[in-house]
Amino acid sequence: MRKKRYLRRIILLPILLSVFSFLSVNYAGAQRGKNSEVPLLSKDSILIGDQVLWSKEFTLKNVVEYQVIPYAEVLQKDTNINGAVEVVADLEIEEVSIKDELKTLRAKMLLTSFDSGSYQLPAPIIMFRLPDGTVDTVSLGSCELYVNYLGIDTTAFTPFEIKGQAKYPFSYKVLIPWIIAFLLIALLVAALLWYLKYRKDKAAGKFADPPHIVALKKLEKLRKEKAWQGGKEKAYYSGITDTLKEYIGKRYGFGAVEMTSAEITQALEEEHIENKLFGELKDMLSLADLVKFAKHTPSITENENSMHTAVNFVNYSYMRQLDEEKQAEVSKEGENKSVDFYVDEKLQKEEEVRRAEDAILNYKEDK
């Protein structure tokens, strides 16, 4: 009997040990499964400026729709973090599986930080609505993030002196654009000044022909038109007298344009004009009055002589003006050394007038 009991104990002992071991292993595994949690962060610590992925899977039942509250807003409201942790890519939800009315979802986002320390991250929040219209929220859990800084090994670190400012060799190529710009600006300024001066001189009549040239050009035009041959003697003599009045007014400085022929000749008596030319001018003005106001018909000779008298008077008065100016300049020769140049310039103008006079006085030969 004792042997049988002993044999039973020997047989039952291994069985009991096996059962006990199995139960112990299952209990430990159950405990681990109960207490262990899947980490929310891809790594529990990062260096300053690194990024970390936050993710979690969860299930919702009988959910009609759901909405994610932006995690950036959640962080802004957390006074403990105070902006130390930033959101690189905000919270997103993707569906993993759907079975019956149970949805398995995965939430993920990307975070970073530029301040070292330990931060308790607040739980992301998701709002969802049930079929009966009830709205509720679910918290996905909080976690802790460690942000480390890069330490400097002061034992192996050798400080260097601050370098001075780098100096580059001077190149004249740098000045070329500035020189070109300066020249362009100078040219523009010179062109603008010249234009303004030109406008001012033009408005002042500086570029206009002198009175005797203007008179000779008008008389030459009347001579070529030969208006008297078409029965337009009045227009012909009006042109001659108007030209002479305008010239006399500018040459002698009185209002000849508004004066009668008699008043003009009376005023010219004080200018000591050569007697023969003055008599011819007086007769020509009287003849012009007869043609314009008494419908007198002059002969061809009278028409030609009238033009000849007008041209002679213009040339004579201008030559007389040159002589007066020349005498005035010569008298100041001791005071002004440039008088020779001035006289030469006047003589050159005198030569131009003589050539114009010859062209007009010899109009008969042009026929």
Q: pLDDT, tens digit, for every residue of 344-362?
A: 555 566 666 666 666 555 5
Rounded to an integer, what distance in angstroms lies between the CA atom of residue 291 and that of residue 123? Answer: 120
CB-CB contact of 88 with 51 (8 Å):
yes
Q: Can you spell out the DSSP letters for 135-183?
A: EEEEE---EEEEEE-----TTT----PPP----PPP-GGGHHHHHHHHH
**For 45-148, CATH number?**
2.60.40
Rounded to an integer, what distance in angstroms lies between the CA atom of residue 54 and that of residue 40? Answer: 5
Rounded to an integer, what distance in angstroms lies between the CA atom of residue 304 and that of residue 113? Answer: 111
Q: Which pLDDT score is estimated for 186?
A: 93
Orientation angle between helical segments 275-293 and 300-330, nearest 10 degrees: 140
- Torsion 124-127-128-134 (CA) sign: positive
Q: Which pLDDT score is estimated for 31?
A: 33
SS3 of 367, please?
A: coil
Rounded to an integer, what distance in angstroms lies between the CA atom of residue 280 and that of residue 249? Answer: 19
Residue numbers in the chain where pLDDT is lower than 70: 1-38, 151-154, 156-157, 204-208, 331-367
Rounded to an integer, what distance in angstroms lies between the CA atom of residue 115 and that of residue 48? Answer: 6
Q: How far is CA 167 from CA 94, 164, 177, in A?
A: 59, 9, 21
- Exposure b/e, 21-57, CB count within 10 A at least 16 = b: eeeeeeeeeeeeeeeeeeebbeeeebeeeeebebbbe
Can you give the length of the chain in residues? 367
Domain ranges of the chain: 45-148, 172-203, 211-366
- Torsion 263-264-266-270 (CA) sign: positive
Q: Which pLDDT score is estimated for 29?
A: 35
SS3 of 259, please?
A: coil
Residue 331 DSSP symbol? T
Of 80, 78, 57, 79, give the one whose Cα is nearest residue 126: 57
Q: In this predicted model, what pLDDT tens digit does every residue of 24-71 receive, in sequence order? A: 334 333 333 333 356 788 888 888 888 999 898 888 887 778 888 888
SS3 of 335, please?
A: coil
Tokens of 15: 């069985």
Q: Which pLDDT score is estimated for 182?
A: 92
Rounded to an integer, what distance in angstroms lies between the CA atom of residue 80 and that of residue 111? Answer: 16
Beta strands in the chain (DSSP E): 45-47, 51-61, 65-68, 85-99, 102-113, 117-121, 125-129, 135-139, 143-148
What type of residue sits at position 311? V
Rounded to an integer, what distance in angstroms lies between the CA atom of residue 138 and that of residue 107? Answer: 12
Gyration radius of the chain over CA positions = 60
Q: How far is CA 113 from CA 145, 162, 178, in A?
A: 10, 31, 49
pTM: 0.39
Q: What share of the chain is helix, strand, coil (3-state, %, to 5)?
A: 55, 20, 25
Q: How far is CA 320 from CA 240, 272, 323, in A?
A: 21, 10, 5
What type of residue sits at position 116? S
Q: Which residues pair with 135 in a beta bridge?
A: 129
